[in-house]
Structure 1
Amino acid sequence: MSTTALPARRAPDGFAVLLMVGLCAIWGFQQVAIKSTNAALPPLFQAGLRSTIAALLVWGWARSRGTPLFRDDGTLAAGLLAGVLFAAEFVCIFLGLTLTSASRMAVFLYTAPCFTALGLHWFVDGERMRRIQWIGIVVAFAGIALAFADGFLHGATASGSSLAAVAGDALGVLAGVAWAATTVVVRATRLAQSSASKTLFYQLTVSAVVLLVMALALGEAHVDTVTPLAVASLAYQAVVVAFVSYLVWFWLLTRYVASRLSVFSFLTPLFGVTFGVLLLGESFSLRFLMAAAVVLTGIALVNAPGKRAGA
């Protein structure tokens, strides 16, 4: 592997901003892609196939660049834990989308930065939260409470039952917690010194095994109907999201200040809600729109750049 020093990380320029907006749109569309395929591919089986395809692509990428994936570097235990948490995240996402709308899932899932900030504050030295971040977390959690209240009062778009809708919303929050926990494990263990390809490979391979075993155990390892939409959706999830977009994100992190890039995270649920409404015909109440605005405000505050130099 090359030992050439990476350039000093800097504030995002116009190119980085365009890439981040593109990534947020890609990630926001993911929930729509998953939900549109649930009728053809059972959720857990769909998630397992996604991870399997993406893992093979990451393996090929790492091999072409000479990046070792199987060297014993003391990251196995942390890698397995990160993989299990990654699998838990997608169990919650895929099952949650059978109960609630893609728009609502996008908002609840992307509360992850708030849980990440809390986890890093408790488990990683030098990641103490500032007052503005504490305020952001309080604001975001208030928005979550308002959104749950809307779920009870307004009912579900996917199942016709307010209780089912709230269960789907809760799975979205749990997915955000699992995502945050994965980030904390990566930052607080030897994975922090591992290559991005190896870290991603751990998450994809372990989640592929966990998800496919669960699909087999629950009788979900089958294809109901093969449609062009299902094939395109699976390819999008595996190739565009889990492979290309994650590698681009890791590349950005090596060249730009992470805290400045993270500010863009609030755009992802905005794209998710927009795509859900435009492409799936989803609707939501004014109450939920207000709750989402409160959540997004909290996320923006949590990701507000600090005075110290970011890394």
Structure 2
Amino acid sequence: MSSDRRPADGFALATMLVLCAIWGMQQVAVKLAAPHIPPMMQMTVRSALGALLVGLLCWLRGERGLLRNGPWKAGLLAGVLFASEFLFVGEGLRHTHASHMAVFLYTSPVFAALGLHWWVPSERMRPMQWAGIGVAFLGIVLAFGGGWLRGGISPEVLWGDLLGLLAGLAWGATTVVIRVSALSDAPPTQTLLYQLVGGAALLLPVALLTGQAGPISLAPVAWASLLFQGVIVCFASYLAWFWLLRRYLAANLSVFSFMTPLFGVSAGILVLNEQAELAFAVGAVLVLTGIIIVSASGLLRALHPLKSGAT
């Protein structure tokens, strides 16, 4: 299959624009529905709805027993990490802005690159990538500390930002687990199903134990948010992303995905009337710049194959 993958074309770019806009709106949707459904319960319902739809799709396609017959140990770990990611997202959005979460969540490529550096010899980082991590780290420090030192950011927002960073760490760790385990050769629907089932199964007890299972008021905005997150995000957009990965070079698509935080920050400002502190804005730019530098070598390898035969 890898030999059939091609560089991103106009169709891929247009599809990535739509996907990035969808992913950037996730945090805003959670914030909008938070007065009616606690964020943790939203994370639970969206995972369960997404798992139900993916399971139905697998059943219709004759892909039975994916969870039972697959690499269940790696799948279990991926499910735990997926649940952890959205536990941090759901809890973090109770304290910080959707625009902040959109930036810190997408630090995941940095954590993934660090993990792959230690676990996969062929993906050891080059000096330029280490420089990119340094730039991203500087951006995180500035985004965290700049406004706080001037009294512009409350400790509560900083706590939410930290949870967003932990969500990025969990997402990056999920990428490493999938890359170094048998899940790397598993059908995309199987990998996605492990994550969604794990998310629903583990987040529900957390919601119940922390008192975030209710009260629930199914106002129109709550219905819209749950359907958007469960059907559009967890089901349609994730499957579309996997479909693209099976047809186009992953490095090309990854660079386009960096548009997501831009959509997220813009949506937070336009829809929720959030204000971007100057220190956070500069820090966010540095974070995104560092992420692009870290991922750039993969793009360069895709555009300029090495003499060793890499494609």
TM-score category by the smaller chain?
Answer: over 0.9
Which aligned pairs between 1:293-304 and structure 2 lie closer than 5 A?
Answer: 293-304=285-296
Offset at residue 214 of structure 1 (A): 1.2
Change (3 A) 1:71 1:172: closer
Change (3 A) 1:202 1:266: same
Aligned partner of 1:38: which letter?
Answer: A
Comparing 297-306 with 14-23, which one deviates more in the overlay?
297-306
| Corresponding residue for residue 131 of structure 2 | 135
Separation in structure 2 between the aligned mates of residue 116 and residue 147 of structure 1, nearest angstrom: 21
1:17 to 13, 17, 27: 13
SS for the counterpart of 1:20 is helix
| Corresponding residue for residue 86 of structure 2 | 90
Separation in structure 1 between the aligned mates of residue 54 and residue 274 of structure 2, nearest angstrom: 34
| Corresponding residue for residue 144 of structure 2 | 148
Separation in structure 2 between the aligned mates of residue 174 and residue 131 of structure 1, nearest angstrom: 25
1:306 to 294, 300, 311: 300
SS for the counterpart of 1:224 is coil
| Corresponding residue for residue 274 of structure 2 | 282
**2:251 aligned with 1:259, yes or no?**
yes
Which aligned pairs between 1:216-231 and structure 2 lie closer than 5 A?
Answer: 216-231=208-223
**2:187 aligned with 1:195, yes or no?**
yes
Separation in structure 2 between the aligned mates of residue 167 and residue 173 of structure 1, nearest angstrom: 10
Residues 137-175 of structure 1: per-residue CA shift (max 9 Å, x gap)? 11111100000013423667xxxx711111000000000
| Corresponding residue for residue 43 of structure 1 | 39
Comparing 53-62 with 280-289, which one deviates more in the overlay?
280-289
Aligned partner of 1:243: which letter?
Answer: F
Q: Is the 8 Å Cα contact of residues 24 and 265 (structure 1) preserved in structure 2?
A: yes
Q: Is the 8 Å Cα contact of residues 8 and 255 (structure 1) preserved in structure 2?
A: yes
Separation in structure 2 between the aligned mates of residue 152 and residue 82 of structure 1, nearest angstrom: 35
Q: Is the 8 Å Cα contact of residues 40 and 224 (structure 1) preserved in structure 2?
A: yes
Separation in structure 1 between the aligned mates of residue 159 and residue 16 of structure 2, nearest angstrom: 31
Separation in structure 2 between the aligned mates of residue 102 and residue 94 of structure 1, nearest angstrom: 11
**Unaligned residue ranges in structure 2 (runs of 5+):** none
Offset at residue 14 of structure 1 (A): 0.4
Aligned partner of 2:173: which letter?
Answer: A
SS for the counterpart of 2:63 is coil
1:239 to 206, 231, 236: 231
Change (3 A) 1:155 1:239: farther
Q: Which has the higher helix share?
A: 2
| Corresponding residue for residue 99 of structure 2 | 103
**2:113 aligned with 1:117, yes or no?**
yes
Change (3 A) 1:6 1:61: farther
Separation in structure 1 between the aligned mates of residue 151 and residue 87 of structure 2, nearest angstrom: 23
Q: Is the 8 Å Cα contact of residues 255 and 292 (structure 2) preserved in structure 1?
A: yes
Total equivalences in the alignment = 303
Separation in structure 1 between the aligned mates of residue 183 and residue 233 of structure 2, nearest angstrom: 22
Q: Is the 8 Å Cα contact of residues 100 and 161 (structure 2) preserved in structure 1?
A: yes
SS for the counterpart of 1:263 is helix
Q: Is the 8 Å Cα contact of residues 30 and 237 (structure 1) preserved in structure 2?
A: yes
Amino-acid identity (%) = 52
Separation in structure 1 between the aligned mates of residue 6 and residue 194 of structure 2, nearest angstrom: 29
2:260 to 268, 284, 299: 268
**Unaligned residue ranges in structure 1 (runs of 5+):** none
Offset at residue 193 of structure 1 (A): 1.2
Q: Is the 8 Å Cα contact of residues 109 and 172 (structure 1) preserved in structure 2?
A: yes
Aligned partner of 2:101: which letter?
Answer: M
